Each structure stands twice: as structure tokens, then as C-alpha cells.
């Protein structure tokens, strides 16, 4: 029971978290053997409807768990807010390409000006 209280407290304080985050952050309050034991206690909390497994969002590698205490509308609002956050730009995106082209053009202009200055000094 103490293990579940620790997990629930962490979920209340820090919001949705992965199993490994919970394992790391709980080390001072409860000594879990491994991530499987954390998952076992999370499943028990889910069976008692005190926690839930959140659907994996884009860009997330691991599942996250969240408490179910409070208003269910808050859960939906948190999920909607998370889904509407801007995603990090992918490598090679059009905006990156435009920025790189602008920087290359600026470097070329500076090199030309430097070459002209060197000619006038000689």
C-alpha cells in the first residue's frame, strides 16, 4: 500500500510520468526493486481507478501514467493542451532550409566585401 501512495503522490505533484521517471523519483520515499514492480503497482492503481495510462502522444517513446483524482474534465484539458503544443521541427524542414540559404547568401556577401577591402588596401 505504501508503494501505491508514493506513486500516487508523485503523479499528483509532477503530472503524467513514465515508469522510469517514477522509479527514479520515488527512490527516497520507497525502494522499488525495478521498473516491473513500479508497473505492477501502477496497474493496481489503475484497477482501483486511481490512475490511468495515457495514450502515447507524437514524439513520445514511452507510455505515461496520470492520476485520476479530481475532475475528469481536467484530464481531457491536459490531454488537449499536450496535443496542441507545437512539435519540434524535423531535421531538414523547409524553414531550416530557408534559414541556411539566407545564411549562405550573407556569408557570400561578406566574403565579397572582404575581398574588395583587401584589393583597396594593396
Domain boundaries, the chain: 2-72, 91-122
| Residue 83: predicted pLDDT | 64
CATH code of domain 2-72: 1.10.10.10
**C-alpha count within 13 angstroms, C-beta hemisphere, residue 104:** 6
Count other Cβ atoms within 10 Å, centred on residue 7.
28
| Residue 71: predicted pLDDT | 80
Pairing of strands 51-54, 64-67: antiparallel
Torsion of CA 103, 108, 113, 114, to 10 degrees: 100
35 within 8 A of 23, measured Cβ to Cβ: yes
Low-confidence ranges of the chain (pLDDT < 70): 1, 78-79, 82-92
Q: pTM for this structure?
A: 0.61
Amino acid at each position: 500500500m505504501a508503494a501505491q501512495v508514493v506513486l500516487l503522490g508523485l503523479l499528483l505533484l509532477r503530472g503524467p510520468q513514465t515508469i522510469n521517471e517514477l522509479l527514479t523519483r520515488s527512490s527516497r520515499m520507497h525502494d522499488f526493486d525495478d521498473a516491473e514492480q513500479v508497473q505492477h503497482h501502477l496497474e493496481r492503481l489503475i484497477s482501483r481507478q486511481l490512475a490511468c495510462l495515457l495514450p502515447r502522444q507524437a514524439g513520445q517513446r514511452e507510455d505515461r501514467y496520470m492520476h485520476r483524482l479530481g475532475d475528469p474534465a481536467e484530464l481531457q484539458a491536459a490531454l488537449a493542451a499536450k496535443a496542441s503544443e507545437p512539435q519540434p521541427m524535423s531535421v531538414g524542414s523547409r524553414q531550416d532550409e530557408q534559414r541556411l540559404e539566407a545564411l549562405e547568401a550573407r556569408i557570400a556577401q561578406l566574403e565579397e566585401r572582404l575581398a574588395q577591402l583587401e584589393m583597396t588596401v594593396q
